[in-house]
Amino acid sequence: MNNTDKYDKVFIDSFSVDKAKLEKNLEYNSISQWDSVGHMSMVAALEEAFDIVLEMDDIIDFSSYKAGKEILKKYKVNIT
Amino acid sequence: MIDHVTKVQPGVLAEGYKNLTNNEWYFPIHFPNNPNVPGVLQLEALAQMLTVAITTLKGNKGKVTHALSHEVRFRKEVLPGQKLILKTKVESWKRGICKGFGQGIVDGEIACEATMTITIPEILEQYLPKK
């Protein structure tokens, strides 16, 4: 599984959404599942999937599917 | 729903008990001729004890906690005059969210057990995207 597949899987598993929804740039609080608790669960799942620890500012800035891709570049996780 | 806390390791565990006297306000109505401790209050006791394990961590004293989700299994009635021993463990504590497990024990037997998720909103909110 490449990084993009792993990244998508975290979103799909955390929020029970399909891939089509991700491609429309899913955003924080745009669905009921991506609430405060969902946000923390998703962050924890990403940290586990990529063996990283996100800094506080990055967790705050992680406001969408697309924004997350840019943020993870800082952690040497490249997602297409 | 806690009388005494007997053991605390901040961020790790909290234990204690609640003595169920005959004077508890709910016994006459829950239920007439068959008084027993409402399950929701057993769960509340476990959640409060788990909260103790978190609010005793440095910097968390006095902070407000909220329940996020609980899953509970009731195994035995808890009756007037019994002592409900409460044992909780923290499974994870990160960014304002605590996941934990608790058991309520009466006369050496498990009366209830729960997996619980609680939060300190003041901490959690610091990590949320601003929109």
Q: List CB contacts of A35: < 8 A, sequence separation 6 or more.
A: A29
Residues of chain B found within 8 Å of residue A62, distances taken between Cβ atoms:
129
In a domain, A80, yes or no: no
Interval A28-60: pLDDT, tens: 999 999 999 999 999 999 999 999 999 999 999
Which residue carries 């005793």 as its tokens?
B56
The total domain count for chain A is: 1
**Residue in A37, A44, A63 closest to B129 by CB:** A63
Q: List CB contacts of B61: < 8 A, sequence separation 6 or more.
A: B55
Residues on chain A bordering chain B, Cβ-to-Cβ distance under 8 angstroms: 28-29, 36-37, 39-40, 43-44, 56, 59-63
pTM: 0.89
In a domain, A78, yes or no: no
The dihedral through the CA atoms of B119, B91, B16, B42 has a sign that is: positive
Tens of pLDDT along chain B (131 residues) come to 999 999 999 999 999 999 999 999 999 999 999 999 999 999 999 999 999 999 999 999 999 999 999 999 999 999 999 999 999 999 999 999 999 999 999 999 999 999 999 999 999 999 999 86
Provide ipTM, 2 decimals. Answer: 0.88
Q: Which domain holds residue A27?
A: 3-73
**Burial of A24 from C-beta contacts in 10 A (0-12 / 13-18 / 19+):** exposed
In a domain, A79, yes or no: no
Element (H, E) at B100: strand B97-106
The total domain count for chain B is: 1
Shortest Cα distance from B125 to chain A (angstroms)? 8
Q: Which domain holds residue B112?
A: 4-127
Residue B49 sits in a domain whose CATH number is 3.10.129.10
Number of CB atoms found within 10 A of residue A19's CB: 10
In a domain, A46, yes or no: yes
Residue A41 sits in a domain whose CATH number is 1.10.1200.10
Residues of chain B found within 8 Å of residue A53, distances taken between Cβ atoms:
none
In a domain, A62, yes or no: yes
> Which two structure tokens, joined as six digits, stand for B66?
């909220």
